[in-house]
Amino acid sequence: MKAQATDGGKRLRLLVRGAVQGVGFRPFAYGLARRLALGGFVRNGPEGVLIEVEGAQAEAFAGLLRAEAPPLARIETIERQDLSPKGDRVFTIGATTSGPVRTRIPADTATCDECLDDLFDPSSRFHLYPLVNCTHCGPRFSLTRALPYDRAQTSMAAFPMCARCAADYADPANRRFHAEPIACPDCGPQLSHAIDDIVAALREGKIVAVKGIGGYHLMCDARNDETVARLRARKQRDGKPFAVMVANAASVEAVARPTDLELRAAQSPAHPIVLMQSRRNLPEAVAPGLARIGIMLAYTPLHHLIFHAAQRAFSRSALYDLVLVATSANPGGEPLIGDDAEARERLGGIADLIVSHDREIVTRLDDSVVQTIDGAPAFIRRARGYTPDPIDLGADGPVVLACGGQLKATVTLTRGREAFVSQHVGDLSDMETFRFYRETIDHLTRLLDVAPDAVACDMHPDYLSTRYAEETGLPLVRVQHHVAHVSSIAAEHGVKGPLLGAALDGHGCGADGAAWGGELLRVDGASWERRGALAPLMLIGGDRAAREPWRMALAACAATGRMSRAERFAGPAERTTLARMIKAGKEWPPTSSLGRLFDAAAGLLLPDARQDHEGHAAMRLEALVERPRLLQGGWRLEGGALDFSPLLGFLIDETPEARTGAELFHGTIAAGLADWIAADHAAVPGARIALGGGCMMNRILAEDLSARLREKGLDVLHARAVPANDGGLSLGQAAAARALLATG
């Protein structure tokens, strides 16, 4: 690895920080140095990539380093220092230096085009090899045990390289130079089944568990009604939609009508699941009652081999597009399965065939899910392909472990000016998920090599994340749920100064212990105030109100003085009894939650509305809307309170058909919220406006509300780097806790 330089001249030391390891940065620096006839070296160090260059073109090198960096590299800073020339005429690639760990692991990346060429090129030694990868693609975080990111620290350490792989790995001119997971049919992991057997099983309508990057998928032919129904029954997956996988961007059209932005999001290096308008030509059981479908493109070589072979096996037509259901293999609400023995044990009753390989998954990661909102992608779930990319907090501070919420839990660990948000963990009330949660904290702490100075958690005393935080014995900062939602947006957008945040959410424990969820908050660093809230509805039956929308429909009748009409929305004995109790004056604690207001509308408009999972009824309501419409006078502004009683009264009195009602409900809620936010903004001029909370998963609401605020000359910030729902709580907690610790 030596290149001759022609000139002495200037010597520069450059320390490059950012996502620069495991992304082909050293061969890039080597190639550039050679092109510019420079001497010196490049090596990975504990703080980033360290480069020394010497020669007449040293300055040009420093300039081109940013401009020509490899596709997956993200340079954050380059620290430079002038040195006296040593007469170095050769450029070398040095070994990794050891020392305290301060570098990064890249996120997992979908198979690149060049590796796809290798995969289907009969003359390539990687021809049809289901685990081909290179410096620009393949698994990273999912197989790394420790830093620095080197093969010895990954689950590929178990596979000694063959001579040819070793030569590619050591050749700076090769695309696989220091591709840590490099492997080939001679030396790498092997697949448990022949591709033709996998495809035959899929064609016969079987359910196949397939090992992927961050865990197993359950896959089956998405066009086969009987098979999809069987998968739903075996997985006991209530009404939650299944995602589907197609071969490539061109195949998306077979099942959806994507926008350009959605297609681009699906093709990004992470290859997330992207919600797109469904053509509704798949069995209803794939995504029951929903107008949009989650689609991802094949992202591992194994996926590509399956689609390629299916083209011939499934159809006599070359135009046939295989569509596969591809849902995480996790029975019930448990975390996804990454371990082979566990897969055999727990998927035996679900999958007819379990396809594995012997590359171990070290860290489990679900597929990430995004939708486009207001002109850009926004996360619904952030995991594979994005974790562990950090979020820049803009300033140094103490190490904070933020423990997140209860549902859709994530944790965040800060180090220096960066916040590392964990992958989506899930609902902590499941025991296995809670174990995964603790594992995730341990792994992240080990990888970042830090010890927390403080922990942050929610104010809800019963969240298992709160209990976890309390048990650490570290200084504890309790951050109000909706303040965390708003702080999360402030953190990712680097907002300094006041922020007027609308936290539009399902449920969060208020500072007064009440159920909040439709809040207007002014947040400024560590200080915040509640400036307004939605007019309260009774939470009839407590937690059960969130699962049975008819209860919130009764609450709407009570709030609008229409109990005489409650029988319409009652029926079964339990409801009639409750209605009688309310008429007699029985009361329940109030909630200001917008999520529960949506449930009330669902209860009024969809008589059969069930709530099999969080936000289910609201999603069905959203799916009915083609164009949000406005009910004039549908709300009242009284001080800081926003009261939608007129809208609810209209829905109760007029009982519009479901679509009309859903359109009026969405449009009127958006318009009322816009008025409310704009009126208060006049009192806090200069504040940026943020829209957060789980209700911002509702695209129709989020876009209509943003548009109405823009019409009033107000610009809004959305959650882009983490989800607006509880998946983003931990980031907000971390930022809020740091602000508080900084003020003493």
CB of 194 to Zn ion, least distance (A): 20
Q: Which CB, 65 or 112, lies closer to Zn ion?
A: 112
By CB under 5 A, tell whether 734 contacts Zn ion: no
Pick the binder of Zn ion from 165, 297, 400, 484 (CB under 5 A): 165
Cα Rg for the chain, rounded, in angstroms?
Answer: 27
Q: Which CB, 112 or 448, lies closer to Zn ion?
A: 112
Q: Which CB, 113 or 471, lies closer to Zn ion?
A: 113
Distances (CA, A) of 636 to 54, 274, 332, 534: 71, 37, 43, 10
Instruction: Provide the mask over 344-383, with x wherever binding to Zn ion is found by CB under 5 A and - wherever it is not.
Output: ----------------------------------------
CB of 70 to Zn ion, least distance (A): 12
Could you tell me which residues come within 8 angstroms of residue 279 by beta carbon, excluding any fewer than 6 positions away? Answer: 254, 255, 256, 257
Q: Which CB, 129 or 635, lies closer to Zn ion?
A: 129
Contact 229, 283 (CB under 8 A): yes
Q: Which CB, 115 or 724, lies closer to Zn ion?
A: 115
Rounded to 5, what percent of the chain is helix, strand, coil? Answer: 35, 20, 40
Q: Which CB, 165 or 702, lies closer to Zn ion?
A: 165
Q: Which CB, 69 or 739, lies closer to Zn ion?
A: 69
Which among 425, 188, 201 is positioned nearest to 328, based on CA atoms? 425
Termini Cα distance of the chain = 53
Instruction: Provide the mask over 121-160, with x wherever binding to Zn ion is found by CB under 5 A and - wherever it is not.
Output: -------------x-xx-----------------------
CB of 128 to Zn ion, least distance (A): 14
Span of 58-66, 187-195, 245-253, 571-579 interacting with Zn ion by CB under 5 A: 187-195
Peptide bond into 148 cis (omega under 30): yes
Q: At CB < 8 A and 24+ separation, what contacts does 466-469 make?
A: 466/403, 468/403, 468/437, 468/438, 468/441, 469/401, 469/403
Please work out the total of residues on this chain that contact Zn ion, with binding judged by CB under 5 A.
10
By CB under 5 A, tell whether 162 contacts Zn ion: yes
Span of 42-50, 68-76, 107-115, 258-266 interacting with Zn ion by CB under 5 A: 107-115
Question: Rounded to the nearest 5°, which phi and psi values hold at 313?
Answer: -75, -35
Query: Which two structure tokens, joined as six digits, stand for 140?
Result: 């990273």
CB of 180 to Zn ion, least distance (A): 13
CB of 198 to Zn ion, least distance (A): 22
Contact 461, 469 (CB under 8 A): no
* Angle between helix 195-203 and helix 301-314 axes, rounded to 10 deg: 60
Q: Which CB, 162 or 630, lies closer to Zn ion?
A: 162
Span of 4-12, 27-35, 110-118, 521-529 interacting with Zn ion by CB under 5 A: 110-118
CB of 113 to Zn ion, least distance (A): 8
Could you tell me which residues come within 8 angstroms of residue 558 by beta carbon, excluding any fewer than 6 positions away? Answer: 537, 538, 566, 582
Span of 176-184, 323-331, 422-430, 713-721 interacting with Zn ion by CB under 5 A: 176-184
Q: Which CB, 191 or 336, lies closer to Zn ion?
A: 191
Span of 100-108, 164-172, 270-278, 687-695 interacting with Zn ion by CB under 5 A: 164-172
CA gap 488, 724 in Å, rounded: 8
Q: Which CB, 184 or 734, lies closer to Zn ion?
A: 184
Pick the binder of Zn ion from 20, 110, 112, 252 (CB under 5 A): 112
CB of 133 to Zn ion, least distance (A): 6
Contact 138, 144 (CB under 8 A): no
Instruction: Provide the mask over 522-551, with x wherever binding to Zn ion is found by CB under 5 A and - wherever it is not.
Output: ------------------------------
| Residue type for position 7 | D
- Report how many helices (DSSP H) and strands (DSSP E) the chain contains, helices first: 20, 31
Contact 171, 335 (CB under 8 A): no
Strand residues in 571-635 grouped as ranges (E)? 590-591
CB of 265 to Zn ion, least distance (A): 20
Contact 37, 54 (CB under 8 A): no
Query: Which two structure tokens, joined as six digits, stand for 571?
Result: 């029926």
CA gap 458, 662 in Å, rounded: 33
CB of 72 to Zn ion, least distance (A): 10
Q: Which CB, 136 or 304, lies closer to Zn ion?
A: 136
Q: Which helix H or strand E contains 456, and what residues bound it?
A: strand 454-457
CA gap 558, 547 in Å, rounded: 19
Q: Which CB, 142 or 422, lies closer to Zn ion?
A: 142
Q: Which CB, 112 or 428, lies closer to Zn ion?
A: 112
CB of 210 to Zn ion, least distance (A): 20
Beta bridge partners of 504: 518
Could you tell me which residues come within 8 angstroms of residue 166 by beta carbon, excluding any fewer than 6 positions away? Answer: none
Question: Rounded to the nearest 5°, which phi and psi values hold at 735?
Answer: -65, -45
CB of 56 to Zn ion, least distance (A): 35
Could you give the count of Cα atoms lying within 13 Å of 128 in the half-sphere of its Cβ? 9
CB of 175 to Zn ion, least distance (A): 7
Question: Rounded to the nearest 5°, which phi and psi values hold at 4?
Answer: -80, 135
Q: Which CB, 86 or 164, lies closer to Zn ion?
A: 164
Query: Which two structure tokens, joined as six digits, stand for 495?
Result: 């907002």
98 C-beta neighbours (distance < 10 Å), count: 9
| Residue type for position 689 | I
Span of 161-169, 189-197, 344-352, 578-586 interacting with Zn ion by CB under 5 A: 161-169
Instruction: Provide the mask over 662-701, with x wherever binding to Zn ion is found by CB under 5 A and - wherever it is not.
Output: ----------------------------------------
CA gap 653, 663 in Å, rounded: 17
Which among 634, 633, 695, 629 is positioned nearest to 663, based on CA atoms? 629
126 C-beta neighbours (distance < 10 Å), count: 24
CB of 166 to Zn ion, least distance (A): 8
By CB under 5 A, tell whether 90 contacts Zn ion: no
CB of 362 to Zn ion, least distance (A): 20
By CB under 5 A, tell whether 184 contacts Zn ion: yes
CB of 119 to Zn ion, least distance (A): 9
Q: Which CB, 96 or 174, lies closer to Zn ion?
A: 174
Distances (CA, A) of 208 to 250, 298, 401, 501: 24, 16, 38, 45
Pick the binder of Zn ion from 60, 101, 187, 474 (CB under 5 A): 187
Pick the binder of Zn ion from 33, 73, 115, 662 (CB under 5 A): 115
CB of 358 to Zn ion, least distance (A): 14
Pick the binder of Zn ion from 79, 121, 186, 204 (CB under 5 A): 186
By CB under 5 A, tell whether 313 contacts Zn ion: no
Query: Which two structure tokens, joined as six digits, stand for 198?
Result: 């996998």
Q: Which CB, 112 or 696, lies closer to Zn ion?
A: 112
CB of 356 to Zn ion, least distance (A): 20
Q: Which CB, 111 or 465, lies closer to Zn ion?
A: 111
- Chain contacts with Zn ion (rule: CB under 5 A): 112, 115, 134, 136-137, 162, 165, 184, 186-187
